[in-house]
Structure formats: C-alpha cells, structure tokens
C-alpha cells in the first residue's frame, strides 16, 4: 500500500525546486512577500542580515536557506543580504525583487479622531507605536520555526494585505495585515505554536496580542473584544488566545492579523494552505 503512494511523491519531490521541499510556504519575491535564498555551505547563519535586521535561516539535510521578509516599501530590483562565512569572510548574496501592484481602498471612518487624531492622542499613539514596533522586531532563537499556519478565525477575508488605503479620502499607510470578518465573540486560535510576547490596548489596534514563533517571525492579532493570554505564556497551535471584537479603529467586528518577518510586515496568506476558492 505504501509503495503505491511513495513513487508519485518521490517524483514530485525531484521536480520541485529545493526550497519547496525545505519550506512549505509560498515563495513570493515581491514587496510584502517572502524570498527564500539558498546559502553557501560555509555561510554563518547568525551573520545573515537584510537591511541590518537578522534573518531567519533553515537547514535541510543538504542545504541551508535564508527566509527573508520583504517590507511593502522594498523597491523592485536587485537586493543584497549581508552575510559572512564561518571563517568570517564576507559573502555577497543577491536576489531580485519584482514589482507588485496592490489595490486601492477608500474607507469612511465615523470617528474622525481615529483618522486625524487630536494632539492629546498623539502622545499615546507615539508611545504605543514604540511598544508595537519593539514586539514586531522581536528575535528569539528557535530551531523549529513553524512556517505553516492554520487560519486563526473562521470567516471571509474582508480586506487583503497590501491595500493602499485612504481613510475619509486621506492617504494612510498601506494595509499591513489581513482582515478576517467574524461576529464579535468568535474565538481566535493561535495559527502555530509560539510564546506570547506582549498584549495591550492601543489607539488604532485596540486589544492586541503578539505571538513570537522564533527567528524573527512574530504574529499580531488586533481589535479583540477579550484577550485570554498573558505575556510569557507558551501557546500551542490552535490554542484560543482571545475573541474577535471591534476595539480601536474599525468599521465592524473583524480580526486584523499581522505577520512580521525580520521586522518586515508580510502577507499572512503566504503561510496558509491554498484554499479552494480564490477569495474566501
């Protein structure tokens, strides 16, 4: 019985590029995507940086790879990793980023203070943005970083990653996460194992949970009605972390799910298995 299935699998493995075997995630060398770069055998994994930020590496039986998150602001063209060999010689590793046009979205927010915050809000926003950035660039060593996620909430994708946004006709930062619509109170489950780094209640993001999965891979859950985890808590894949809500800047109840890799916000969809229908 096993042999019947084994041969087609073997053929598939031989035909696939190497990174497919090592990394069950989508290779997307675009702004907001993830690029997987084979490393020479003598590369020192701890030395690899992109834009000064340490980069995830993974090892198969035969090869090692850098797994690099590309921020939405990365320009198309040739980019370089900073790297050194185990004997401390410089390595020059280049890769190409291709362009991707994200759609534009216009949103009307009734609470004008959430679009053009008042002076007294700015101090809070600036303070919170430091906390949020610190959580998203968190690094912890982990040999077995989960690169395949389960969908954290059942529901339709209401707003994709990367949308160029206008709030009340004013341009704002592009959408750095993926929105899943669900009724208030719907449980949110951790998409993979990790450790809660921080939780908080923020001006724009509302009640928020950050989970560290290791090697610069951090996920963020926003607008929760209730947080059910504490900083430092270890989380298994599928474990409930809180409930969907509409705290912060929202037009309705949904989960805003962010994924950060080497401090670059990347498309969470790249970590999910392909679904049967294109959008939902």
Footprint on this chain of Zn ion (rule: CB under 5 A): 177, 179, 256
Instruction: Tell me which residue of 219, 248, 9 sits closest to 128, measured CA to CA.
Output: 248
Report whether 72 contacts 162 (CB < 8 A).
yes
Q: Minimum Å distance from CB 177 to Zn ion?
A: 5
Smaller CB distance to Zn ion: residue 79 or 256? 256
Smaller CB distance to Zn ion: residue 19 or 161? 161
Question: What whole-number distance in Å separates Cα of residue 278 and Cα of residue 194?
Answer: 29
Q: Minimum Å distance from CB 175 to Zn ion?
A: 6
Smaller CB distance to Zn ion: residue 179 or 263? 179
Phi and psi dihedrals of 78, rounded to 5?
Answer: -85, 135
Report whether 180 contacts 158 (CB < 8 A).
yes
Q: Minimum Å distance from CB 156 to Zn ion?
A: 14
Which residue's CB comes closest to Zn ion? 256
Report whether 135 contacts 198 (CB < 8 A).
yes
**Helices and strands, counts by H and E, the chain:** 3, 21
How many other CB atoms are there within 10 angstroms of residue 4's CB atom?
Answer: 7
Question: What whole-number distance in Å separates Cα of residue 245 and Cα of residue 224?
Answer: 4
Smaller CB distance to Zn ion: residue 214 or 258? 258
Q: Minimum Å distance from CB 254 to Zn ion?
A: 7
Q: Minimum Å distance from CB 248 to Zn ion?
A: 10
Smaller CB distance to Zn ion: residue 60 or 251? 251
């Amino acid at each position: 019985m096993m042999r019947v299935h084994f041969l087609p699998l073997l053929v598939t493995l031989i035909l696939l590029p190497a990174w497919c075997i090592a990394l069950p995630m989508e290779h997307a060398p675009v702004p907001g995507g993830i690029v997987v770069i084979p490393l020479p055998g003598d590369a020192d994994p701890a030395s690899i940086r992109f834009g000064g930020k340490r980069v995830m590496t993974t090892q198969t039986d035969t090869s090692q790879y850098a797994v690099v998150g590309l921020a939405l602001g990365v320009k198309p063209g040739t980019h370089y990793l900073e790297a050194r060999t185990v004997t401390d010689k410089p390595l020059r590793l280049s890769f190409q980023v291709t362009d991707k046009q994200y759609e534009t979205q216009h949103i009307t927010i009734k609470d004008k203070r959430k679009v053009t915050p008042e002076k007294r809000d700015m101090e809070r926003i600036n303070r919170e943005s430091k906390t949020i950035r610190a959580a998203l660039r968190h690094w912890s060593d982990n040999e077995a970083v989960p690169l395949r996620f389960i969908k954290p909430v059942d529901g339709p994708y209401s707003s994709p990653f990367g949308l160029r946004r206008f709030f009340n006709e004013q341009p704002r930062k592009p959408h750095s996460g993926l929105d899943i619509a669900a009724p208030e109170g719907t449980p949110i489950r951790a998409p993979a194992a990790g450790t809660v780094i921080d939780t908080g209640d923020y001006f724009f993001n509302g009640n928020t949970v950050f989970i560290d999965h290791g090697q610069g891979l951090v996920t963020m859950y926003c607008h929760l009605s209730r947080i059910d985890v504490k900083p430092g808590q270890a989380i298994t894949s599928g474990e409930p972390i809180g409930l969907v809500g509409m705290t912060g800047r929202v037009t309705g109840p949904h989960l805003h799910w962010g994924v950060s890799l080497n401090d670059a916000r990347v498309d969470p969809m790249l970590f999910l298995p392909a679904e049967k229908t294109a959008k939902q």
